[in-house]
Each structure stands twice: as structure tokens, then as C-alpha cells.
């Protein structure tokens, strides 16, 4: 069982940066592939970024590639999402997710554990 708690969301202006954090419970964090998803009002939850359990492989949605960076610190049981050059269309609730030894991990259904989400609002 893994419990995930996101933090770091907030209200920013277009062009600003934010860093989201997701703290995980448990002693097997290093065996979990971690992902970030987001959901805007009236829209489906969409993939943002993922990082393999080793940290050696990362994947990004085309809409955030070059602006967002996912990373992890297995010693701290934490995964991060550094978001730069934020745009109003990045406004959403951002969720952290985990799946043990996940492989492709681009779809919400591939993840077993979810956090409660953190709101990111980008004003123009």
C-alpha cells in the first residue's frame, strides 16, 4: 500500500514557475514508477509526465515537453514536477500516481495509487 500526498500548487501568472512535490509513504518507493496527471474542469484526466522506478526513463506529454521536468529522490520518497513557462492552459488539478514496476504508464488506468491532487491556476 502506498499513500501519496501532493503539495506545491498555487496561483501564478503566465510565464512563472512552480514545483510540485509528491511524498510517498512506505519502504518500497524505489520500486514504483511515478506519474503526474492533470484534470481541468469539464475535461478528462490527462497524462503529464512519468518517471521509471530507477529514474532512468522519463516521458512527457507533448504539451509540456521542454517546459516541465519530472524527477525523483528515492532517499526522500518524493517525486517532483518542475513546471516552467506556465501557461493559462496548464490550469488544472495535478495528481500524483504510482504503480509498482510500471512499464508504459501513460494512461490513468495503469496506475494503482493516487494522491488527492493539488490545484494549479495560471492567470494570463
How would DSSP label each residue in 13-44? ETT--EEEEEEE-SS-GGGEEEEEEEE-TTS-
Give 38-91 pLDDT, tens digit per residue.
999 999 999 999 999 888 899 999 999 999 999 999 999 999 999 999 999 999
- pLDDT class of 1 with cuts at 50, 70, 90: confident
What is the C-alpha to C-alpha distance for residues 56 and 118, in angstroms, rounded to an integer?
A: 26
Instruction: Give 43's contacts (C-beta < 8 A, 6+ positions apart).
Output: 92
> Residues 29-49, buried b or exposed e (16+ Cβ, 10 A)?
beebbbbbbbeeeeeebebbb
Give 101-119 pLDDT, tens digit per residue.
887 789 999 999 999 999 9
Residues 81, 95: contact at Cβ < 8 Å? no
Tell me the H-state helices in the chain.
none
What is the C-alpha to C-alpha distance for residues 60 and 40, in angstroms, rounded to an integer?
A: 18
What is the C-alpha to C-alpha distance for residues 53 and 31, in angstroms, rounded to an integer?
A: 5
Distance (Å) of CA 46 to CA 1, 31, 38, 56: 24, 23, 5, 23
Amino acid at each position: 500500500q502506498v499513500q501519496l500526498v501532493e503539495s506545491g500548487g498555487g496561483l501564478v501568472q503566465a510565464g512563472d514557475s512552480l514545483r510540485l512535490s509528491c511524498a510517498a509513504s512506505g519502504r518500497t518507493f524505489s520500486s514504483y514508477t511515478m506519474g503526474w496527471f492533470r484534470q481541468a474542469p469539464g475535461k478528462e484526466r490527462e497524462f503529464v509526465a512519468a518517471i521509471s522506478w530507477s529514474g532512468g526513463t522519463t516521458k512527457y506529454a507533448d504539451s509540456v515537453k521542454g517546459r516541465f521536468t519530472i524527477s525523483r529522490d528515492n532517499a526522500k520518497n518524493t517525486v517532483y514536477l518542475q513546471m516552467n513557462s506556465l501557461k493559462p492552459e496548464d490550469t488544472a488539478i495535478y495528481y500524483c500516481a504510482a504503480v509498482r514496476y510500471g512499464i508504459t504508464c501513460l494512461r490513468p488506468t495503469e496506475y494503482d495509487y493516487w494522491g488527492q491532487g493539488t490545484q494549479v491556476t495560471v492567470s494570463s
